[in-house]
């Protein structure tokens, strides 16, 4: 059965963390959906189709759909991903429906991935103390409540966290391996032609 992943996006989401994860999962055969999480003051929420999300570096990305808590439940997806980017991570992590879903996914044994400032969702969701990592800029907000690590990728049960744009490839490869196994990871990594002795 095809694995399914939901990647959240908002204005201010870090483009590399979003696109590298999305692209890598698709290469592995995962069915990926991106969902736009509007900010509280967003006036576009009445439209049927989501607006472009303006990334942290000004690149416009068109999400697949609006975020709907009813359509994002763990019975419909195997993985929930929260990218970083300060503004985007703030919008996503401060959403109470997202916080509720983070807890549900983990309770039901589904995977949750957080990159960069996206790891703030672990804090806002009230997760129990566990190992994790994040971008250095939000370390101070997380290190008191969690076992903070500076490893590129930290796997704690079904929670997978990573540090930033530069660690997004190993983050995405880890998600592929957890969902589909080491052979699939190697199959995806090979054609990307990484230089020798890199993280792949």
Q: Which of 14, 15, 17, 177 is catalytic?
A: 17
The three-class DSSP label of residue 112 is strand
Give me the number of domains the chain comprises. 1
By percentage, how much of the chain surpasses pLDDT 70? 96
Is 200 part of a structural domain of the chain? no
Integer CA distances (angstroms), 150 to 5, 127, 143, 168, in order:
26, 19, 11, 14
**Strand extents, DSSP E, 15-152:** 31-36, 53-54, 60-61, 65-66, 79-82, 111-115, 131-132, 147-148
Known active-site residue 100: no
Which strands sit side by side in the sheet containing 79-82, from one edge to the other?
Answer: 65-66, 31-36, 4-9, 79-82, 111-115, 159-162, 153-156
Is 198 part of a structural domain of the chain? no
Is 197 part of a structural domain of the chain? no
Range of the domain at 111: 4-192
Is 39 part of a structural domain of the chain? yes
The CA distance from 89 to 29, in Å, is: 27
Reported as a single tens digit per residue, the pLDDT across 32-74 is 999 999 988 776 555 667 889 999 999 999 999 999 999 999 9
Question: The CATH number of the domain where 165 resides is what?
Answer: 3.40.50.880
Q: From its phi and psi, is residue 25 left (phi > 0), alpha (psi between -120 and 50) or beta?
A: alpha
The yes-or-no verdict on residue 19 having pLDDT over 90 is yes
Is 199 part of a structural domain of the chain? no
Reported as a single tens digit per residue, the pLDDT across 153-177 is 999 999 999 999 999 999 999 999 9
Known active-site residue 17: yes
Q: Which of 14, 15, 135, 177 is catalytic?
A: 135
The CA distance from 120 to 30, in Å, is: 26
Is 24 part of a structural domain of the chain? yes
**pTM of the full structure:** 0.95
């Amino acid at each position: 059965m095809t694995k399914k992943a939901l990647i959240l996006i908002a204005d201010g989401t870090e483009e590399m963390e979003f696109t590298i994860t999305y692209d890598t999962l698709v290469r592995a055969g995962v069915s990926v959906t991106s969902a736009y999480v509007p900010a509280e003051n967003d006036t576009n929420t009445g439209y049927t189709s989501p607006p472009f999300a303006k990334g942290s570096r000004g690149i416009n990305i068109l999400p697949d759909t609006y975020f709907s808590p009813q359509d994002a439940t763990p019975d419909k997806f195997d993985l929930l991903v929260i990218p970083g980017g300060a503004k985007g991570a703030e919008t996503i992590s401060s959403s109470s429906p997202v916080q509720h879903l983070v807890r549900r996914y983990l309770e039901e044994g589904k995977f949750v991935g957080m990159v960069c400032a996206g790891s703030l969702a672990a804090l806002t969701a009230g997760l129990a103390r566990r190992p994790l990592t994040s971008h250095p800029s939000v370390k101070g907000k997380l290190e008191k409540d969690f076992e903070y690590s500076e490893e590129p990728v930290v796997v704690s049960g079904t929670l997978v966290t990573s540090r930033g744009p530069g660690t997004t490839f190993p983050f995405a490869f880890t998600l592929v391996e957890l969902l589909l196994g080491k052979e699939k990871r190697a199959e995806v990594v090979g054609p990307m032609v990484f230089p020798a002795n890199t993280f792949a």
